[in-house]
Structure formats: C-alpha cells, structure tokens
Structure 1
Amino acid sequence: MNSFQALLTSISPLSAQTLAQLELILVADGLKKGDFFIREGCVATEIAFLEHGVVRAFYTNKQGKEYNKTFFTAPAIIGSYASLISKKKNSLPQQALSDCSIWRLNYAAIERLSENNAELERLRRKIAERFFVANEKKQLEMALLEAKERYSIFKQEHPGFEDIIPQYHIASYLGISATQLSRIRKN
C-alpha cells in the first residue's frame, strides 16, 4: 500500500484525506502468471496498481501473431485506458508474465471521487500525460532507431528483465525476430 501512495504522490502531490478516500476503494488481488487483467473484446471497468510483477499489453494480428506493445513493471498503473474512456471494447489485452500483486480500483468510483477533488483530477491528467508521452516515445523509437539501439534502450529501462521473461516477448516488443535479438545480444 505504501508503494501505491509513493507512486501517486511522485506523480502529483496528494493530501492524507485524498489518499484515505482512495484506500477505501482499493481491493487487494493477484494475478498468476498467464492470467489476464483485461481480455480483448471486454469493456474495461477498472484499473489497478501493480505492486509486484510484470504485465504485458499486446495485440494479435489476423494471422494470430502476437506483438507486445508495452511492458508494465511494478510499481505501475495498469488498465485499458482507451476502453475506460471510450466505453468501447478493449483491443489491447493485458496479461501477467509473472505472478503479480495488484490493487484494483473501480473506474466509476474514481470518477465519482474526482468530481469534487481537484487533487484527483490533476493526478488523472498527469497519469494520462505520462502515458501519452511514453506512447509517443515508443512510436518514435520504433520508427527512427535501429533494432540494436532499441534493445539498448530496453535494457536501460528494464534492467534484469531478460532473466524474468522469455526472449521472444522481448523480440516482439522490439519489433524484431527472436533470431535477430539473439544476434544483437551476441554482439
């Protein structure tokens, strides 16, 4: 719980009263390796604080090939924001790559709390801004950088990750084949 408070206050300062209100709507839960936080085709109703573990967000093409879009490593906030905001079906499932500890939050409850709380509104805006910036950064890296450079950035941003998850997940995230990743790692 303290790591949740630390993450939120690092994004935007929150009073003890606001933190207490959030704690009232938090539900402790877990995901086993392979479990989904949200599946494709479902309409999202909640987000979660990832206290421990690794979750991937991915999509599957028409041929059934999976592509990892994002990795979430604790501490992080997970959930399908596009589905939450649009109230449409999710197209980016999120799956645990390790056993995870999470704290679930009902999105409608967060919206109700935010109506009269400027701190929560500011926090929500800053979280959305962070996701926007991270998404743009990843898009630029994929478009402008060589695979070797993307791998170097990946290692800096996710130290020790290669010991936790299979190489094919990392290759997919980098937009290369497992063979290409193996060659890059040898060099």
Structure 2
Amino acid sequence: MSTIKEYINNIIELEEETLNKLLKCFYPLELKKKEFFVREGEYARQIGFLKDGVVRAYFLNQEGKEYNKQFFTGPSIIGAYASLLTKQPNKIAQQALTDCSILVAEYSNIEKLYEEYHEIERLGRKIAEYYFLEKEQKEIEMALLDADKRYFILKERFPGLESIIPQYYIASYLGISRTQLSRVRKKILHS
C-alpha cells in the first residue's frame, strides 16, 4: 500500500516543508461499504486520498438507470472535481464499494496553499492533467473498441476488481448489459 507521501512524490518531489504543510491538511476517514464520499446534488467541499478500498463514481439518468463512470482503487485521489471547481452542486456521486480508508482534506485549505506554495499548485495541476487524460482515454475506448477489448483493458487497469464488486457495476462501466458481460467472459474463458 502506497502512502500519501509516496503517492505525491511519484507525481512531483516536494520540499519537506512544503509536503508537511500539505499533509497537515489531511485527516483520516473510514468509509464503510455503500457509504458515500460525495452524493449527487451536494456541494463538494473535500478531496480525498483513497489509501485502500474501491470507490465508484456514477450518475443516474432520468429513468433512474445507473452509469458507472469510473472506479478508484487505492492509492488514488478522489473527489467531485467539477463541483469543487465550479462551486455548483455535484452531478456524479462517489460511493464506497468496499470498506475504504481515506485521508480527507477541505479543498478550501488546499486552495489556500496554492497561493503560498507554487509546488502544491503544480501538484494539483499534474493530478488534474492525469485525470483529464484518463477520462479522454476511456471515452476513446468506449467509442472505438468492442466490449471484449474494453473488458481486457478493465482487467489490466483494475486487477482483481471483478472478484470483489458485483458484475452489474462492471457491465455498466463497460457500457454493456450483464448478459453481454457474461457472454464476453464465457468467450474469453473458452478461447
């Protein structure tokens, strides 16, 4: 398990004083399976470092059908970025699919550090760039790849995930039905 310090230093080496200022903003939070880090309609105020566990980001359409947009596995950064940046209600809920250990910071405290420590602002930009690229990659995969290839990518990106979360979450993430997922898995098993 990666610590927040290791995670940050893999993105950008911060000076010890700067890193310590940033780390002082975080406090531990245990999120139980099915609890929300942030709900749809709430104003997001926190950012989190997921140390351990699985969180899904999802939204509901007008008919109440769920679409799993993303899975986060520790270590990673979680939070309702659009709501944090725009100060508008959140549209994409983030829910624990397993018990999770998280370090949480008030985003306003991080923003204050941006003013004083440009290294921290740079860290924030690099994290945002990473998630932008990841989002674009998933959009390309959804548009250009068939379900079999998307399933292989999911298995590479999230090893072991399908053994700990329900299959319908995976089907939704892949943009296919549970029946299609079952066919894809059978086809791969017998090939």
**Shorter-chain TM-score category?**
over 0.9
Deviation, 1:23, is 2.0
- The answer to whether the Cα contact below 8 Å between 2:2 and 2:75 also exists between their aligned partners in 1 is no
Consecutive aligned runs of 4 or more in structure 1 exceeding 6 Å deviation = none
User: What secondary structure does 2:184 align onto?
Assistant: helix
Scaled by the length of structure 2, what TM-score is found? 0.96
Query: What is the total number of aligned residue pairs between the two structures?
Result: 187
Where does structure 2 lack aligned partners over 5 or more consecutive residues? Answer: none
**Identical aligned residues as a percent:** 54
User: What secondary structure does 2:24 align onto?
Assistant: helix
Pair 1:114-2:150 in alignment: no
Q: Distance in 1 between matches of 2:104 and 2:182?
A: 37
User: What secondary structure does 1:55 align onto?
Assistant: strand
Q: 2:28 corresponds to which residue?
A: 28
* Structure 1 residues 126-162: Cα deviation after superposition (integer angstroms, max 9, x where no partner): 0010011000000000011001110010001111111
- Letter aligned with residue 183 of structure 2: R
Q: Which piece of structure 1 moves more, 91-100 or 16-25?
A: 16-25
Q: Distance in 1 between matches of 2:139 and 2:186?
A: 26
Alignment of 1:1-16 (within 5 A): 3-16=3-16
Q: 1:77 corresponds to which residue?
A: 77
- Letter aligned with residue 81 of structure 1: Y
Q: Distance in 1 between matches of 2:139 and 2:116?
A: 35
Alignment of 1:100-179 (within 5 A): 100-179=100-179
User: What secondary structure does 2:95 align onto?
Assistant: strand
RMSD value, Cα: 1.0
Q: 2:48 corresponds to which residue?
A: 48
- The answer to whether the Cα contact below 8 Å between 2:30 and 2:100 also exists between their aligned partners in 1 is yes
Deviation, 1:38, is 0.2
- The answer to whether the Cα contact below 8 Å between 2:2 and 2:51 also exists between their aligned partners in 1 is no
Where does structure 1 lack aligned partners over 5 or more consecutive residues? Answer: none
- The answer to whether the Cα contact below 8 Å between 2:52 and 2:74 also exists between their aligned partners in 1 is yes
Q: Distance in 2 between matches of 1:2 and 1:76?
A: 9
Q: 2:186 corresponds to which residue?
A: 186
Deviation, 1:2, is 6.3
- Letter aligned with residue 159 of structure 1: P
- Letter aligned with residue 115 of structure 2: E
- Letter aligned with residue 124 of structure 1: G
Q: 2:88 corresponds to which residue?
A: 88
- Letter aligned with residue 140 of structure 1: I
Q: 2:64 corresponds to which residue?
A: 64
Deviation, 1:24, is 1.4
